[in-house]
Structures are given as structure tokens and as C-alpha cells.
Amino acid sequence: MTTKRILAIAAACALSLLSACGSNEGVELGAFPAISKTEGDPPFALTAPSSKSPAAFSYASSDTRVASIVGDMVTVGIAGTTTITARQGELGSYNPTSTSAVLTVAKRVCVAPLVNENGQCVVPTTTAAYVSSTGVTWMPATIALTWAEADAYCKNTSIQKTTGWKLPTQFELAALVSSGALSGQGWAAGHAWTATAGSTADSHFAVNLGSGASDAFPKENKAFLTCVR
């Protein structure tokens, strides 16, 4: 056997051994860290772990209720945990390999009176009617909150897909009650907050939705909420 032939066989054997050594498990992959999301978060792209292999990665979720994956895009589902596995296929002398990370999806916490609906904080549905009077729209009063909670809700919430709502003044709410526009609309019976401050720093007026009478309540008390726009 010629020297050239011997060297060729040796090279082939060395390549075969190199392919076998450790490649049954594939190349070592870089970091694939844990991920934290919240219900209702938008879809996001996975970042592949680093690898010496040029082979493409594919991804799978162990619980598709928590997160589903198409390509490298993850759609967040219900609260819980799922294991995301990144798999790299075989290519040339590179054997297949994989790594995994835990994705934790936290439940979205909504501030009352908003409720969690499919991971989003939304205005609760009600059979009570919105009322239009004197050129403005009134949100039905069905939920009792403290004054600070009521004020923040009107200012910060998108109601009927619009913003710019506010607590009514004492005069505005009393005029609405006396107009008779609330008859048969399903609104709560009781006092509702207004933006009008009472005689003390810790009080605001609330108007009775049945009689129209006004009383100053401490702000930590609970009264019904209606917003006007």
C-alpha cells in the first residue's frame, strides 16, 4: 500500500472519530435564558442560542395553552409555565442538539372595576345603559369605589374605546338625576361620587341617584362610580 493511500485512510479515520466524539449530543449551545411574560402581552421573537453549527433552529412549547410557537414567534396564552425547547437539526458532520428554557406567564392583575378578559383589563359588561343627556355621555353607575379609585378610573380608562372621561361635578350629576333620564336604565340605587370637593380636605360630594340629594362623604368611603364625557 502506498504512503499516499495510508495517509488518506488515516485522514478518513480521524474525520470519522472527530464526528463521533461528543457529536452524539451535538455541539455545545450558548445561553437560552428563562423568559417572563404577562397574559395579554404581544407576540415576541425567540433569540436562538449561539452554536458552532450553521443548522437552523426549530422551537416547540410543552404547553401550547401557555404559549404557542410558529417559526420563532411566540404567542402568549394563559397564565402558567411551559418549557420551550430549541432544537438544532443535523447538518454535515454536526449532529442534532437541543436546549430548553422555562417561559413563565403571569396572570394580568386588573385594578377594579376593570376585569381580566383574555389577558386584557377591560371595562366589565353590564346590562345597565349608557345615557346621553345635554350633549354628554354618562357611563352607567354599577360599581362602588373609593373617591381616589373612581377619579383614577375615569381619568385613565378607555371607556367605549375612548378616553377623556371624568367624574361629573355635583351640579352635573344632580341635574342628570332630576331630568328623569336615569329611569329604567338599570343604574345602581345609592350615592355616586362627583369631582366637587367637600368642606374638608378629605371629602367629596356624592349625589343620590334616586333622589338627587347631595352629601359630602369622606374620600375613603365607597360610593358608586359614573364617568362623563
Q: Is residue 164 part of a domain?
A: yes
Confidence of residue 2 (pLDDT cuts 50, 70, 90): low
Same domain, 92 and 140: no
CA distance readout (Å), 131 to 89, 126, 139, 186, 190:
62, 13, 7, 11, 17
Same domain, 195 and 131: yes
Parent domain of 148:
115-224
Q: Residue 3: what pLDDT?
A: 53
176 burial (CB, 10 Å; 0-12 / 13-18 / 19+) is: buried
Residues 6+ apart with CB under 8 A from 48: 57, 72, 86
Of residues 88 and 13, the one with the higher pLDDT is 88
Q: Residue 16: what pLDDT?
A: 39
Report the chain's mean pLDDT, rounded to a whole number: 89
> How many domains, in total, are found in the chain?
2
Q: Is residue 95 part of a domain?
A: yes
Same domain, 73 and 56: yes
Q: Of 106, 130, 157, at which residue does a domain stop?
A: 106
pLDDT greater than 70 at residue 22: no
pLDDT greater than 60 at residue 78: yes
Q: Is residue 19 part of a domain?
A: no
Q: Is residue 38 part of a domain?
A: yes
Q: Which of 100, 90, 99 is nearest to 23 (CA)?
A: 90
**Rounded Cα distance, 65 and 114, in Å:** 24
Same domain, 52 and 74: yes
Q: Which of 44, 47, 86, 84 is nearest to 64 (CA)?
A: 84
Same domain, 151 and 178: yes
DSSP structural state of residue 159: B
Say which CATH number the domain at 193 has. 3.10.100
Residues 6+ apart with CB under 8 A from 215: 191, 205, 206, 208
Q: Of 106, 137, 170, at which residue does a domain stop?
A: 106
Same domain, 152 and 91: no
**Rounded Cα distance, 83 and 80, in Å:** 11
Say which CATH number the domain at 66 has. 2.60.40.10
List strand residue ranges (DSSP E) for 40-184, in order. 44-45, 57-61, 67-70, 73-76, 80-88, 97-106, 115-117, 120-122, 131-133, 136-138, 144-145
For residue 22 the three cell numbers come to 461528543
**Rounded Cα distance, 94 and 101, in Å:** 22
**Rounded Cα distance, 46 and 69, in Å:** 9
Q: Is residue 18 part of a domain?
A: no
Range 91-115 average pLDDT: 92
Confidence of residue 134 (pLDDT cuts 50, 70, 90): confident
Q: Of 79, 106, 133, at which residue does a domain stop?
A: 106
Same domain, 126 and 212: yes
Q: Is residue 137 part of a domain?
A: yes
Confidence of residue 220 (pLDDT cuts 50, 70, 90): very high
Confidence of residue 74 (pLDDT cuts 50, 70, 90): very high
Q: Residue 46: what pLDDT?
A: 98
